[in-house]
Amino acid sequence: MNARILPYVLILPVTLFLCLFFIYPFVLVSQQAFQAADGGWSMENFQEVVEYWKFPISMKNTLLLAAIVVPVQLALALLMATMVSKMKKGRDMVLYIWTIPLGISDLAAGIIWLAIFEQSGFLNSMLHGIGVVDKPVNFLTYQNPWIVFLAIALAEIWRATAIMLVILVAGIGLIPKEYYEAADVFGASKWKQFTRITFPLLRPSLQTALVLRVILAFEIFAVVAALGGTLFPVLMGQTYSYQFDLLNSGAAAAMALIILGISIGFTLIILRILRVPKGASI
Amino acid sequence: MAEIQIKNIAKSFGAFQALNDINLTIADQEFMVLLGASGCGKSTLLRIIAGLEVASSGEVWIGGKRIDHLSPKDRGIAMVFQNYAVFPHLTVFENIGFGLRMKKLPNDEVTRRVERVAGLMHIEMLLKRYSGELSGGQRQRVAVARALAMEPDVILMDEPLSNLDALLRMEMRAELKGVLAESKTTAIYVTHDQVEAMSMADRISVMHQGDIVQAASPIEVYRDPAAKFVASFIGNPPMNFLPAKPAGPSKWQVAGQTFDGPNTDKAVLQFAIRPEDMQPAEQGLVATAKIVEPLGAHLLVTCQIGDALFRVILDSDAVVKPGQSLTLAPQPDRVRWFDPDTTLAVA
């Protein structure tokens, strides 16, 4: 076959698959979101979801979670990736252990942390055992919103740092050793080597890791449902309740598009901040 | 003053002994080339001087100060790497100024020095580019400029020209030699390319299996190899060897001919002569031409004497045909002798 056409033929099945199962439903959802009760085009659905009293709260909660969780994950993943990359023996073993949480679904992760924080959970047993509390405390209530927030943040950090770690370990592996030797000879301390060499050369991997993580952070749902229930409304939880509790698929579609819009916005910001100038890649 | 003294340096990687007890003194402003085949330990020695590798034992002194316990940046050295190691995310300007920024020199001083060395290396028009937009030769210039900008006591170079094509390598060789001579820096240059070594060095240290076999001026290494290894490593084609048997005091018999030689009681020696140091004559070694290669400037003839192959370089006008018999007279003052047991030269 013609070598110029062959590549396009080869990517055709995937393209068709994505068109059929992604673009088509996306068009349908968009239609639903912009459709009024009488069938015409309108912003009714958007107006409805935005004006609902829970919308600002769930928006604030989602953004706050992302703002706390993602930077902590980034710092942890960078630290862990740097440590793993310096290891000579047992590196794969450590990586496997560190990535175990990746294999657990987000709902299961939420339930694991619920088992720690709930009234009859491990944390209470431990505190009781060492005599800090006389009787089990209910941490996850509306009286302790910050503990609920903390529990969700911890569960998210525990669950999803590994995805960034894996991407960053691969990225660090691509940086040639000579750069560090040159940096050593030309007087850069270890910290300067990290800020002046590792970090800038890691930009492509950081882009991927951050885009993935930020999108997932805006889609947070199951962990919140398990630990916070209705105490901690988030955008995705609202979408779910429009669709399945209120059976208002128009409003659910509008919510979904709002989340998509936010994700695209942040993706563009991340790509812009971490862009690599032409000719400046490894 | 940056005299370098290497005292009893040894290095082993597990069971592998990379360097055995190296002793070498490099004078201030000297251009020293470490020459050897891959795996001979030349790069390891350079990396030990740079501080990128830790010696198993021994000391390194620069300018009368022991430096082997210091980190690379405190040794007063700069280095040019084989793969350039020009940082891809920095512009050429920031690459050259990298070490100066790390020293926290004021901005105008950084600019002054970067512009000076960029001019020296003829890359002043590239200062705003990234390394991805440069050719291999230009990257090499950036790497050298970065080292020169440090105004170091000692500049270390690890096969800096080996990734360039032949023509560029020849050009850079001459240029580098000029720039380094002008900078009055002591230089250590690692290469496996003997032409590079011969053309650039003040002195060559020929290394073999973790030892320095000979450290001498290029012409001395070429004319008076200290060991058979040097004789067969340097020169293209290398020296010819023939077995010699004693034929009276200071007389040795080689392929039926008698030559004046060293006065020793050895039962056997090796007679050695460079291919260009022989002339066709009435009297001499009788050889049969096997392969005739006209190389333009001269004629390379591979012949056979007894069982041994023997190469001669003749004038390009000479007419030699394969199978033809040649009588070759060695230039008497160019004949060298080696002891086959110790492989060392015998005077």
- Which residues of chain A does B85 touch, with a Cβ-Cβ cutoff of 8 Å? 176, 178-179, 181-182
Mean pLDDT in residue range A20-26: 90
Residue A127 placed within a domain: yes
CATH number for the domain harbouring residue B281: 2.40.50.140
Quick check: B50 and A201 CB within 8 A? no
**Does residue A134 have a pLDDT over 90?**
no
The domain of B8 spans 4-227
Quick check: B51 and A185 CB within 8 A? yes
What chain A residue is nearest to B50 in terms of C-alpha separation? Answer: A185
Where does a domain end: B192, B227, B262? B227
Question: What's the pLDDT score for residue A86?
Answer: 87
Question: What's the pLDDT score for residue A123?
Answer: 86
Quick check: A185 and B132 CB within 8 A? no
Q: Are residues B201 and B249 in the same domain?
A: no
φ and ψ at A271, to 5 degrees? -60, -35
Q: Are residues B268 and B209 in the same domain?
A: no
- Nearest Cα neighbor of B327 from B312, B342, B341 is B312
- Which residues of chain A does B71 touch, with a Cβ-Cβ cutoff of 8 Å? 184
Task: Chain A: give the shortest CA distance to residue B5, in Å.
Answer: 19
Q: Counting one residue from A and one from B, how many pairs have CB atoms under 8 Å apart?
A: 73
What is residue B256's DSSP assignment?
A: T
Mean pLDDT in residue range B160-165: 88
Choose among B88, B99, B146: nearest Cβ to A280. B88
Amino acid identity at B303: C
A176 to chain B, any CB pair closer than 8 A? The answer is yes
A26 to chain B, any CB pair closer than 8 A? The answer is no
Quick check: B103 and A187 CB within 8 A? yes
Neighbours of B248 (CB within 10 A): 8
Reported as a single tens digit per residue, the pLDDT across B277-286 is: 998 988 889 9
Span of A2-16, A129-143, A205-219 with lowest mean pLDDT: A129-143
Task: Chain A: give the shortest CA distance to residue B245, in Å.
Answer: 53
Mean pLDDT in residue range A224-242: 89
B222 to chain A, any CB pair closer than 8 A? The answer is no
Task: Using pLDDT thresholds of 50, 70 and 90, give the confidence band for residue B42.
Answer: very high
Choose among A176, A185, A279: nearest Cβ to B73. A185
A192 to chain B, any CB pair closer than 8 A? The answer is yes
What is residue B48's DSSP assignment?
A: H
A199 to chain B, any CB pair closer than 8 A? The answer is no
Residue B232 placed within a domain: no
Give which of B87, B91, B146, B162 to mutate to test A binding, by max A Cβ within 10 Å: B87
- Which residues of chain A does B83 touch, with a Cβ-Cβ cutoff of 8 Å? 176, 178
Choose among B71, B79, B132: nearest Cβ to A280. B132
- Nearest Cα neighbor of B82 from A194, A167, A177, A47 is A177
Q: Are residues B160 and B285 in the same domain?
A: no
Residue A11 placed within a domain: no
Residue B69 placed within a domain: yes
Question: What's the pLDDT score for residue A138?
Answer: 82
Mean pLDDT in residue range B168-184: 89
CATH number for the domain harbouring residue A97: 1.10.3720.10
Q: Are residues B24 and B145 in the same domain?
A: yes
Quick check: A186 and B85 CB within 8 A? no
Q: Are residues B42 and B146 in the same domain?
A: yes
Task: Chain B: give the shortest CA distance to residue A8, in Å.
Answer: 29
**Domain tally for chain B?**
2
How far is B86 from B104, CA to CA, in rounded Å?
Answer: 20
**Domain tally for chain A?**
1
Reported as a single tens digit per residue, the pLDDT across B320-336 is: 899 999 999 999 999 99
Neighbours of B187 (CB within 10 A): 25
Q: Are residues B93 and B183 in the same domain?
A: yes
The domain of A59 spans 53-273
**Does residue B1 have a pLDDT over 70?**
no
Choose among B51, B81, B89: nearest Cβ to A178. B81
What chain A residue is nearest to B91 in terms of C-alpha separation? Answer: A280
Reported as a single tens digit per residue, the pLDDT across A55-65 is: 999 999 999 99
Question: What's the pLDDT score for residue A58?
Answer: 92
Write out chain A in H/E/C secondary structure.
CCCCCHHHHHHHHHHHHHHHHHHHHHHHHHHHHCECCCCCECCHHHHHHHHCCHHHHHHHHHHHHHHHHHHHHHHHHHHHHHHHHHCCCCHHHHHHHHCHHHHCCHHHHHHHHHHHHCCCCHHHHHHHHCCCCCCCCCCCCCCCHHHHHHHHHHHHHHHHHHHHHHHHHHHHHCCCHHHHHHHHHCCCCHHHHHHHHHHHHCHHHHHHHHHHHHHHHHCCCHHHHHHCHHHCCCHHHHHHHHHHHCCCHHHHHHHHHHHHHHHHHHHHHHHHHCCCCCCCCC
**Does residue B181 have a pLDDT over 70?**
yes
